Chains A and B, each alone.
Chain A
């Protein structure tokens, strides 16, 4: 059995389609996770009573259950309660549930990382709570969160492979289908690895460049 390059070429159109699905799931999930996280972070920063507790509970629950189990729960168990969503929707829901929690933590950490002296200085020149938040805390917290925010975006993109378990035709699903049909295990796993590298590495480089530029804007060189 030799490495079958011709076979790989034949599968490329299907893999291209699968990359589209992976990016779709990943990018939508990142956007919705970010929305959830911004909402939660606002609650945490404003120290809203009760809601603050609820956010803490959510973060713990989401971060301590594996994505695969959340996915199986939504896809296979919820129909018993009359809630039936497609595989794609189940993927977005669970990835948002998980991603939202991680990103909430990132934003919270960013706010916590603003030096205490900044707050005290702000108050000493007579800024109100709202002004303090708007002109002192958020701009700095945003920049401070960026590195781990971007790291979590990449993490979420990589997590998309898990959703192959509920028949969403992304890259891992496509790989496994081909292995199952034609037994080209080595070829297909090599293609999958290569796709991951080509997909995630440039994104990672792009984000770290963006991050440097934004930090340059904040702190100068």
Chain B
């Protein structure tokens, strides 16, 4: 009877999987809207049904060597192609942070502004990027080099999965990464530090795995160095890694019903070394860059739902990852059922808890969650292909095709946040006297003004020179009284110029002929005023 129920569940699973794959293909082809049905719930139900096949031992699938190499080259080319699409006929970097990164690349380490020391840009990242700027232009670093880092991230996934499983599962993981909309968004929103830190996290776990297998000290040392560098490059990623490693420290010594205290002691020692390597980068700025983060992190546990960081929310995420979501859960269930609680499983569980319960930076951690789910979905796909080879491969092709179509749509719709006319107007600010201050009255343009004006930038709530709080800025935006505006402006040193872009309301237009604001540049609806009172 038990066997019969099991067989019914197993058969239902495969039937539902076929239906699910067809629906996803139809969604990808635009035949109906992805939000029309509760597809994310369907994906979870599917994964639960799939538990029935997770008790079978995974033997691994073998792929012809030549086909493997061809597939590898195809995926790497696709990663490049999808990310290069927004740069066909466009040279303006993508994302809101592009201007901030440009400033960081060219001046970050030399100026050491307070907002940078407070953690605006991590020192490890600044050292790397400043160094690279001696070879490459900032434009190249912001565009093509980031694509290279995205390829390296994909290759990191490939090797990590290969280390934990086999090369066929690894190539599946690489394909899923290529078509992951979330990973593409991380690129198009220019989360540069995040991407580099993720490369480090993947390779550090790769070396940890190698150390577990070989016990070679050389592998261990590379694991420790790379893990330390995660902290030096991106603190939030180090937070995820740190939590995963913390639980790994205590769980990994437990094997075959015995607890290895020597291993526990060693794990703690390695953890201390990692913290020292990361901490050294913050010497002299520890309280500004690290201690100041404790409060928002703890606050995030007490009052979940706040300080989510800028990224898509969990609901949107579920619908953006439909083509691999059930397989990711299936892969995770497989590891849990086999009681293989390794660092990848811990990373997935901790990351899922943070995102689902909306603890500190929960939206931004969707990128990390997606990456680990990409890895587990490859395990899930492999499991199905092992059980039913033809059906599994067919479903994999259908779903990858769907993912590819969606990723392509995402790529062609990715545009820079400002157009060439706006950028040209901002660049005109370089003609102002060198000691000038530039005010960007809208935060939309603040990073661009910082990066491309080559002048000290005053922006609402950003950087070092802002002297007003939110209420005062609001008053400034809506005021029709010149005396009030003057009072606001007089808090800043002169020469003072104001940039008004075409996507914002020009609140200074009304004072144009009253002598205080001289319009020195106008192109389309982009204006530059000189404050002359």
Q: Are A and B interaction partners?
A: no
